[in-house]
Each structure stands twice: as C-alpha cells, then as structure tokens.
Amino acid sequence: MKHATRVAATAALLLTLTSAPAAGAADAGTAHVDGRLPSGATYTMDVPTAWNGTVLLFSHGYASGPANPAQDAPDDATKSLLLQGGYALIGSSYATTGWAVTDAVPDQMATLKAFTTRFGQASRTLAWGRSYGGLVTTAIAERHPEEIDGSLSLCGLVQGGVANWNNTLDPAFVLKTLLGSDVPLVNLPGQEAATDAANTLTATVDSAQSTAAGRARIALAAAVHNIPVWNAPGQTRPAATDWDAQQANQYEAVKGLLKIAAFNRRQEAEARAGGNTSWNTGVDYARLLGRSSVRKEVTELYRKAGLSLTADLAALNRAPRITADPAAVAWMSATSSFTGELTKPQLSVHTIGDALVPVQTESALRRAVTAAGSAPLLRQAYVDNAGHCTFSPAEQLAALHALEDRLTTGRWQDTDPASLNARATAADPTTPARYVRYHPTPYLRPYDLAHPADRR
C-alpha cells in the first residue's frame, strides 16, 4: 500500500479505535491507547489522526519503587510538539523496575509489534530513549536492527553496564579509603543495608567537607568519575580557576551519586546478576587521575590544603582491592555491554555538565563502534548545559530531525552545532538551542565487547 493511502486508511481506523484524547495531544483526534503485554508490562500509544508514517519507540530511564508508568515521550512539551508534527509515539513501562534490560528490550519490541498489529506498518521506525533508556535504545539498535531504521540516545548510559558499575565503584572506593570509612561497597545483602551504607558514607563526606584536606579528597573522588565542576540546573558556572567553587559543586554531585547509584541501585543490579559485577584489581588511580577532565582542580586543591597527592594516590594503590564475581560479570556483560556493531545510523547526544552519567560515556561509545568498524554510522552531539538530561524540547527535536535527514539522504549532514541550533530554533523558537562543539576526554574505565582485553 502506498504511503498516502496507508496514512488515510489509518486515520479512518483511528477514529473508531480512540479510547481517549492523549494528554498534551495536538487535537482531540489523536488516538490514545493503553494496554498490557503478556510480561505484565503496560504500554501507551499516542497516534495523531494525520500520522506522518513515522513511529517513535521511546525507552524511559531508570525507575525504582512501586510507580512504573509506561512512557512514550521524554516530557509533555516535547510530546506535544511531536504529535503536532504527526509522529506516532509508543513506549512500555518494562515488566520490572531497576536494572531491567532483560525485560526492557523484549517489552519494547513487543510494544512495537502491538502497535503494528493495531495501526499498521510504519514507513519509518526510530528507537530513542533517555538516560538508562539510552542503554536500552542502544541494546535495541545492536540486537534488533531489522526492526528499526535508526536510533537516538539522549544522555544515555552508552558505556554499557560493566563499565558503568566499575566507574561508579571508583569514587566510593576513594572516599572509603581516604576518609577512613568501613562501609561495604559491594555484595550488599539488601536495600536496607545499601541505604545504611549510603547514609554512613554521605555523613562522612559531609564531615570531610569542613576541612581543606577533606575537600581535596572529595575532589579526587569526583575526578575518578569525571564529575564536572558545573553539573546541576541553576548552579553558578565556576570560573576556570575558581577551585573552591568547582569543588563545592562537585561535593553536592558526589553526595547525589552516593544516594542514587553507588549503593541502592548497585544492590538491585547485583541481585539481578547474582553477585558483584565490579572490580578495581589492577587499577592505577594515579593513571586514572592523569586522564581525568578535572585533574588540574585536584592538584590545586591538594596544594592549597598542604596535602600530598602523591601519598594519597599511593595509599589508594596499596589499599585492599575489590574483586568481581566472574559469573555476575558474565551476566552483566552479556545483557548490558555493547559490541559497537551498528548496522543502522545512531545519533547520541549529551549535556556537557552531567554528573550522574558523565559526558565521557560518549568516548566509551565511540571507542566501541570504532573498534567494531561502525564509526561512519555514529554521530555525537553536545549541549552546553548542566545537569542530567536537561535538554530543551527544541534540542531534542533538532536531534530527531538530524537523524531523519541521515535516513532520507543516506549521509550525515548539518550535524555541526550551528546547524543543530538552527534546526532547534526552527522546531521550537520558545526553548533554548545550545549545541556546542565539544570533545570529551576519555572514559576512565571502558569495557565493551569489541575489545577482548577488557574481559579480565
């Protein structure tokens, strides 16, 4: 069936299937459908009457707790603009919360199948997602390329699971060792124990922040995770040599990392994997610092405190190391790490001031796809803003349109910052356009399936 005929037929069908107008929909003729998959996951779909033939399969970020709603767009403002543009929007809740990649990928593919059964075959299918949903999206791109035409990751964990948990271990290890805490970092028996450990180490960090030596050591912990010095919405952007202001911003981010990821989310992931998936055996912390994006700040704060950085790095390198459970690593590697083997175009976008999923994850993705020979299919772009996933609707639409042009023309074009900002302004002149030229430093603890030496 030709595209125009199919869209007209679908539009007529929608009038009989609509259960309710979608929230944020462009008009009351938009079909809104909620359903449940055999896995128990719920799904949601919003399809405008004047569907343009493109379906966007949205993968949401990490969810915890009892609330686990299906999502088909990153935010209401972007959703409204997409529906006005004629895009069909779909997405699932995933059957479980937490590090649920083994549920998320099949649930997303089942949602796509349910959409096709109900509304017909799309002329173009794009997978996209934010944060943890960027990991899910990249997994779909590698494992189910025949089901999609391209993918868009926004602020994604595109370094993969093993790399993520190794890199999350390092700042906690630095804090525990140099601030004298005895909290367990891995093999946490349950969420209560994880919360207790997080609270204990956070209190230790709070106390250390009151001294120059403590502030220097917190900065060192931030550096081995590449936590940027400007990392939260509304935060003042420090001057290039305002080391104290830089560290104050990182201090808040370090506490956030401890509260969010380093213990509770780790424990949930360990429970799925059947053991500890992280290690720092063989890690040279002096080498890690030497490759960090904020090493100069650390050096200056240690000098100001009259503290020996060399001695602290030696103490870290002498400290008892953490070994991983090989079976747990194998599970995390098989389910959540990447080969870098793209067969369809992918655009990956990141804010430069992301503390939770640092922008250096893009370096890890580039490393994998380059080793796999897929680099021509990948483009990366950067937004000059602080915080995790703090994109404007305009910036998200600009990325989507750039990916669409790649599919239409067969080549990447107009993906430089000026062109992306022009796309953003054209898509939504009411919200910011802040794409910039940026080259992230290396990811400090890479692990991917394209590098056999990573599997140690």
Kindly list the domain boundaries of the chain, sorted by start residue: 3-159+337-454, 162-332
DSSP conformation class of 259: I
Report residue 80 as tokens.
Answer: 């409204």
Asked if pLDDT for residue 8 goes beyond 70, the answer is: no
Evaluated on CA atoms 247, 251, 256, 262, the torsion sign reads positive
Q: Per the structure block, which two tokens stand in for 239?
A: 């001057």
From the list 138, 88, 123, 91, the residue with the least C-alpha distance to 110 is: 91
> What is the predicted pLDDT for the residue at 14?
32
In CATH, the architecture of 3-159+337-454 is 3-Layer(aba) Sandwich (3.40)
Lateral strand order in the sheet of 435-436:
31-36, 42-47, 88-92, 54-59, 124-130, 150-154, 346-353, 378-386, 435-436
| Mean pLDDT of the chain, nearest integer | 94
**Six-digit token string for 309:** 């950085």
The structure's pTM equals 0.93
Residue length, the chain? 456
- Tokens 């804010």 belong to 351
Binning pLDDT at 50, 70 and 90, where does residue 56 land? very high
Question: Which of the 8 DSSP states describes residue 20?
Answer: B
Between strands 378-386 and 346-353, the pairing is parallel
pLDDT band, residue 229 (cuts 50/70/90): very high
Determine the Cα–Cα distance for residues 285 and 302; give it in Å rounded to an integer.
16
pLDDT of residue 65: 82
pLDDT of 23 higher than 90: no
**What percent of the chain clears pLDDT 70, i.e. is strictly above it?**
94
Higher pLDDT residue, 26 or 176?
A: 176
Predicted local confidence at residue 26, as pLDDT: 41
Over residues 260-280, the pLDDT tens digits come to 999 999 999 999 999 999 999
What is the pLDDT at residue 28? 56
